[in-house]
Chain A
Amino acid sequence: MKIYGSDTDLILHFGLGLLGRPLSRMIIRQKGMKLLNKYKIQWNSSKSLDQTLTEAFGCVEELYCQKVQRMHIIWTAGKAGFLASSDETAKEFSIYEHILKTISNWSVEVSNERYFYLLSSAGGLYEGKSCIDSHTKIQPSRPYGELKAKQEKSAQDILEGFTGIGLYRTSSVFSLNSDFGRRGLINTIIKNTQMQRPTTIIGHPSTLRDYILDEDIARILIEDIFERNKTGVHTHLLASGRPISIIEIINLISQYMNRVPRLIYSFNKSNSENITFRPSSLRNTGSSKEIGYLIRRALMTAQS
């Protein structure tokens, strides 16, 4: 968890993984923002978690003698993946709920204008749907999707007094930084092709996915935090609007690497459904639309 502050804004940012890192970098670049403190959260121990939160709150109270103009809570944390079990998601949800309740009670003393931003998952909420837009009803069909749905609802219930609650439903996140955690399909294929190892693809080669760059997600969040300050509950679909199949990814990688990736397909019906988005319902996601450009950048990163 990181705490940032300026004269007018205070940010508590939970989750410094895949999306958290580029977001952190962009927050620091905003005018007047400074990193006030950072804490390593022990997600497995509720006692340690409470202790960390108490320390964090104490730090804020020391630095800000009076109420800050705007307070922003950003949640990009999450360990459970697409194939997580019910037990894993239940545990994650209970930690999430506990933190929200704690912050909700405490934040009243910190600011009158409070905002919450939740990174949710379109893939989990709209599994198997194509041409997803703002009218599409969510239909989670596995524990991961149900977790995301519950997190969204819980945020609206617990943080009722907040000025604004933003729910950001993202498509498959693509990061050029593949050094930690889940690497993602494209980076995995590139890495394995460099090492001349086969890659196992769980799904059908024609299955369509939508990839969005982590930096584009971070940029949109920064825009909303520092420029828009939208009130009420607002939901956003964050995707490139450019569907892409595994065949196309393989073809692009082959062209740029001059080497054909070796693939092993493990056909799994549940992972073979398309997930695509209607471009008219999406925010402008910049370079995410140019999948060839993204793959070339990933290759350059992998080779450096």
Chain B
Amino acid sequence: MKILLSTVTPVYQGASYLKDLVEALESARKAITDSYVEIELAECIFVIDESRDNSGEILESLAQEREWINVIELSKNYGQHPATVAGILHSSGQWVFTLDEDLQHHPDHILPMLKDCLASNRDVYYALPIKESHSSFVRDSLALWFKKIIAYLSSNPHVPVFSSFRCIRGSIARAAAATHGVDTYFDVSLSWFTDRIGYGRYKLTDKRNQSGSSSSGYSLWGLIRHGKRLVLSSKLKFLRLIILMGVLAFLFSIAYSFWILSKLYMGEEIAIQGWSSTIISIYFFGGLSCLFLGIIIESLSEVLLKSKGKPAFFVVDRSSDKKLKAIFGSL
């Protein structure tokens, strides 16, 4: 039985690149089948996310001559992650590759990514550029530091390598997509199903830089919303800091009370009347409030994550990896 691969490409403003992308996919399909008879790039799914140009018409005409192209149209603009999820839910390959519409993610990297993913026993494998591809240093640096902070706060070490060029085990991709909630960051969803996440660096050339137009599909507001989605999908460490602060403040108030009482017992006089009791009251009730607030927020975040699709467990079948590794030779 053949190992089938699927690609999923959200489309927003890809009119300038789609024809080239489809031709590149066609070449990749042929190359894969020529190299390995048991592997096939069986389907390429394009998800039209209320595109701003005539991407839809271009894809429909390309799909007419190519039965392996499947075009899905969303009813309105939902965003890159929801469009990716929609495409994955229409896929049936044992491995799913998500790639952008603008040829930044060249289909020639599909097989190398799969090989590297298998060699490192991963379920999710990101392709990162050897050199960051957006022309804006500020944007790239901000994005990187934001991800590093979120990685630390959420205890999810994979956040800095999240990218839209992914190689994902099909069952995990579809499980994450199926349980994916509104406003969930898809890569965070993936990390709920597996810890076997890796990345590799490849020569990813941004064709938009070559053509002189390097604008991303994201405005500043879009990037902020993207970041908000990442934050809300992650359970953040600072929530526990609130509980810790509450406990410390409460304990401080108790300790300070005992200290004041011991001073009084020893006969010492309190310098400023009323100050100690005020401070003790503030820390006592403030600490308790923080503690209970932290517990409530912690519980709410569990409920929120559950509503976003975080599962109790997931069973995976990796038995076909042996066959693939044998096909690729010793890895």
**Measuring CB to CB, which residues of chain A are less than 8 angstroms from any residue of chain B?**
128-131, 133, 204-206, 208, 241-245, 247-248, 251, 265, 272, 274, 276, 278-281
Q: Which of B85-93, B104-112, B160-168 contacts A (4 or more CB under 8 A)?
A: B85-93
Q: Which of B22-30, B50-58, B170-178, B183-191 contacts A (4 or more CB under 8 A)?
A: B170-178
Complex CA distance for A208 and B96, rounded to whole angstroms: 14
Complex CA distance for A272 and B171, rounded to whole angstroms: 12
Minimal beta-carbon separation of A133 from chain B (angstroms): 6
Q: Is the CB of B175 within 8 A of A278?
A: no
Interchain Cβ contacts under 8 Å between A and B, 13 examples:
A129-B1, A131-B43, A133-B67, A205-B175, A206-B174, A243-B92, A245-B175, A247-B175, A248-B178, A272-B317, A278-B43, A279-B70, A281-B67
Minimal beta-carbon separation of B276 from chain A (angstroms): 53
Contacts of B178 in A (CB 8 A): 245, 247-248, 251
Give which listed residue, A128, A248, A265, contacts B89 with CB less than 8 A.
A248
B245 proximal to A (CB < 8 A): no
Q: Is the CB of A278 within 8 A of B67?
A: yes
Once A243-B92, A274-B92, A278-B67 are accepted as A-B contacts, the answer to whether A130 and B175 lie under 8 Å apart by CB is no
Complex CA distance for A68 and B141, rounded to whole angstroms: 79
B305 proximal to A (CB < 8 A): no
Q: How many A-B residue pairs have CB under 8 A?
A: 64
Give which listed residue, B69, B179, B309, B317, contacts A206 with CB less than 8 A.
B317
Contacts of B174 in A (CB 8 A): 206, 208, 245, 247-248
Q: Is the CB of A243 within 8 A of B90?
A: yes
Give which listed residue, B63, B90, B171, contacts A242 with CB less than 8 A.
B90
Contacts of A128 in B (CB 8 A): 1
Contacts of A205 in B (CB 8 A): 175, 314-315
Contacts of B153 in A (CB 8 A): none
B260 proximal to A (CB < 8 A): no
Q: Is the CB of A278 within 8 A of B68?
A: yes
Q: Is the CB of A130 within 8 A of B171?
A: no
B239 proximal to A (CB < 8 A): no
Contacts of B89 in A (CB 8 A): 242, 244, 248
Residue of B at shortest CB range from A208?
B92
Once A247-B174, A278-B68 are accepted as A-B contacts, the answer to whether A131 and B4 lie under 8 Å apart by CB is yes
Contacts of A129 in B (CB 8 A): 1
Minimal beta-carbon separation of A282 from chain B (angstroms): 11
Minimal beta-carbon separation of A264 from chain B (angstroms): 13
Complex CA distance for A244 and B68, rounded to whole angstroms: 19
Contacts of A276 in B (CB 8 A): 92
Complex CA distance for A209 and B52, rounded to whole angstroms: 34
Contacts of A274 in B (CB 8 A): 92
Q: Is the CB of A204 within 8 A of B317?
A: yes
B42 proximal to A (CB < 8 A): yes
Residue of B at shortest CB range from A244?
B89
Contacts of B4 in A (CB 8 A): 130-131
The list of the 4 closest CB pairs from A to B, nearest first, reads A248-B178, A206-B171, A276-B92, A280-B67
Minimal beta-carbon separation of A286 from chain B (angstroms): 16
Contacts of B70 in A (CB 8 A): 241, 278-280
Give which listed residue, B69, B93, B317, contacts A130 with CB less than 8 A.
B93
Contacts of A281 in B (CB 8 A): 67
Contact string, B265-290, partner A, CB cutoff 8 A, digits 1/0? Answer: 00000000000000000000000000
Residue of A at shortest CB range from B309?
A251
Complex CA distance for A249 and B92, rounded to whole angstroms: 16
Residue of B at shortest CB range from A249?
B178
Q: Is the CB of A204 within 8 A of B68?
A: no
Minimal beta-carbon separation of A168 from chain B (angstroms): 20
Complex CA distance for A128 and B43, rounded to whole angstroms: 17
Complex CA distance for A251 and B177, rounded to whole angstroms: 11
Complex CA distance for A206 and B317, rounded to whole angstroms: 9
Contacts of B42 in A (CB 8 A): 130-131, 278
Minimal beta-carbon separation of B132 from chain A (angstroms): 35
Contacts of B175 in A (CB 8 A): 205-206, 245, 247
Complex CA distance for A255 and B316, rounded to whole angstroms: 23
Q: Is the CB of A204 within 8 A of B67?
A: no
Contacts of A278 in B (CB 8 A): 42-43, 67-68, 70
Contacts of B314 in A (CB 8 A): 205
- Other A-B pairs beyond A208-B174, A243-B90, A243-B91, 5, CB < 8 Å: A131-B4, A205-B175, A241-B90, A243-B92, A244-B89
Give residues of chain B (28-78) contacting chain A, Cβ–Cβ below 8 Å: 42-43, 63, 67-70
